[in-house]
């Protein structure tokens, strides 16, 4: 007993030393770390802490590594952009943890807030949707998926007999399946709040079991309805078609070959599959690199990873969303001027402007999932426009 007591004392002393060594910022973050996995209803302090460590709190949720390679895609420093706004005030006001602006493949602006640093990983939320859709294009060119006109049930047989019987792969990509889904981030009883806790009783995956019970609301292909559940179906479809996990396929096709700087991670459902509509953890620079990958034709060393014509369709309006000047492509938000964006709740995003050869990656911890709708999104759009104007002013 005495020996055990001495050992315990030494262990406590070591923990105390480590606690002192890690610094006040990390002590504050650890104390603020959330104790449940429902990010929609965390406090502000929990979000500030949790969004940078979601893949490191394994008692909440598991994650799978997305491996980078030893070959780095360099991002050379360019001259600083001259913006007609107070950048520090904007960062603080919109609660940005990071902004990286690439122009002509060079870093023209890079800034961090909320105690976050360039080497840290921040969660993407729905920015992951755009990466998932790109893997569909890769699976087509690899011969794993035959056609966007194929029924979804061809690749996910457990959906047979459900409202998804007549839904095509393309209709999943454009969120126009017509299957009822409620995506209300403030309602604990909405589908987006409930589906991750569903447990299958028929042998199918938890997600497929939940989705196949949903009723039809509209004919397929007629009405756009934002559905994280359907992006998660896309992820299962890609995994079933390729025989690989999404993390491995993303690493094999993009993350490694293109030269991302660090390993990333992808959060997993309880049944061990990636939450493909959400939650890739990566550095903001690597999110910006993905935007640059898209600018370069979704290609590595000049070799496109998606079929001919895919990029044009994926990043331009395929269906209207009821907002003038905007639309939805293949899991990309589109602008009628040719720009397009990946967008995630709480202020995550990759904005891509091919006309100006411009990429803007942002990570944030907004005060709510959609922020102050009349303010947070508008302020970010104003920032995008300020960057565009600064590029235009350079001629």
**Least confident window among 17-31, 99-113, 152-166, 175-189:** 17-31
| Domain, as residue range, for 25 | 2-60
Do 195 and 167 share a structural domain? yes
Q: DSSP characters for 182-228? A: ---TT-TTSHHHHGGG---SSSS-HHHHHHTTPPB-S-TTS-----H
Asked if 261 and 303 sit in the same domain, the reply is yes
Entry pTM: 0.89
Boundary-marking domain end, from 33, 60, 87: 60
Asked if residue 178 and residue 194 are part of one domain, the reply reads yes
Give the pLDDT of residue 58.
52
> Same domain for 198 and 50?
no
Q: State how many domains the chain has.
A: 2
Q: In CATH, what number is assigned to the domain containing residue 91?
A: 3.40.710.10
Q: Are residues 173 and 273 in the same domain?
A: yes
In the chain, beta strands by DSSP E: 63-66, 96-103, 106-112, 122-123, 264-267, 280-282, 299-300, 303-304, 319-320, 326-328, 333-335, 340-344, 348-353, 358-364
Confidence of residue 24 (pLDDT cuts 50, 70, 90): very low
**Could you report the per-residue pLDDT of 355-394, keeping only the tens digit for each?**
999 999 999 999 888 766 557 788 999 999 999 999 999 9
């Amino acid at each position: 007993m005495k020996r055990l007591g001495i050992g315990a004392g030494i262990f406590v002393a070591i923990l105390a030393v480590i606690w002192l060594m890690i610094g006040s910022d990390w002590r504050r973050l650890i104390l603020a770390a959330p104790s449940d996995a429902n990010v929609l209803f965390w406090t502000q302090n929990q979000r500030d802490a949790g969004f940078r460590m979601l893949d490191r709190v394994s008692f909440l949720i598991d994650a799978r590594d997305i491996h980078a390679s030893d070959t780095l895609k360099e991002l050379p420093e360019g001259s600083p952009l001259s913006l007609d706004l107070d950048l520090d005030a904007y960062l603080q006001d919109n609660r940005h943890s990071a902004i990286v602006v690439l122009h002509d493949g060079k870093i023209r602006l890079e800034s961090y807030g909320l105690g976050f640093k360039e080497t840290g990983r921040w969660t993407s939320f729905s920015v992951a949707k755009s990466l998932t859709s790109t893997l569909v294009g890769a699976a087509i060119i690899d011969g794993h998926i035959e056609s966007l006109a194929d029924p979804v049930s061809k690749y996910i047989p457990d959906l047979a007999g459900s409202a998804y019987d007549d839904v095509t792969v393309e209709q999943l990509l454009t969120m126009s399946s017509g299957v009822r889904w409620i995506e209300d981030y403030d309602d604990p009883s909405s589908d987006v709040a409930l589906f991750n806790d569903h447990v299958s009783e028929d042998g199918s995956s938890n997600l497929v079991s939940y989705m196949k019970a949903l009723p039809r609301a509209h004919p397929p292909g007629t009405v756009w309805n934002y559905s994280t559940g359907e992006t998660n179906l896309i992820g299962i479809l890609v995994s079933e078609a390729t025989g690989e996990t999404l993390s491995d396929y993303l690493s094999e096709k993009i993350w490694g070959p293109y030269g991302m700087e660090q390993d990333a991670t992808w959060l997993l459902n309880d049944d061990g599959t990636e939450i493909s509509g959400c939650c890739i953890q990566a550095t903001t620079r690597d999110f910006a690199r993905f935007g640059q990958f898209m600018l370069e034709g979704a290609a590595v060393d000049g070799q496109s990873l998606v079929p001919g014509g895919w990029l044009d369709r994926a990043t331009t309006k395929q269906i209207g969303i009821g907002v003038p000047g905007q639309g939805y492509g293949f899991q990309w938000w589109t602008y009628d001027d040719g720009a397009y964006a990946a967008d995630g709740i709480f202020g995550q995003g990759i904005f891509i402007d091919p006309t100006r050869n411009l990429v803007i990656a942002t990570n944030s911890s907004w005060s709510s999932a959609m922020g102050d709708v009349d303010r947070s999104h508008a302020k970010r759009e104003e920032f995008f426009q300020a960057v565009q104007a600064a590029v235009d002013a350079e001629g």
